[in-house]
Structure 1
């Protein structure tokens, strides 16, 4: 057998013990609330800051 080859017989009839696997629950920490924040900056100032941040990334 060459490099990277495998015995296909080893790939058949594999048993898995799924009972011991801890599954991830993606909706465990869903949040249906509301997010608010206060800022003394105007919308135009915030947009300007965002533009500056995007320019810094480039």
Structure 2
């Protein structure tokens, strides 16, 4: 009787997931584009190299 076992699938553990732009569907390679899920051409926000989120806070009492 023939051997009917399924072949072992080789998965590259070091490979990164492929991510596509939400607008145009092209594959993204830039780290910022991959994080935002939008290509540089489709993203309306300026690219500054880092995302910054400032929060107004009250001063810590005693300092």
State the TM-score bracket (shorter-chain normalisation). under 0.3
Higher relative contact order (CA 8 A, sep 6+): 2
TM-score, length basis structure 1: 0.22
TM-score (structure 2 length as normaliser)? 0.21
Rg comparison, structure with higher value? 1
Higher share in helix: 1
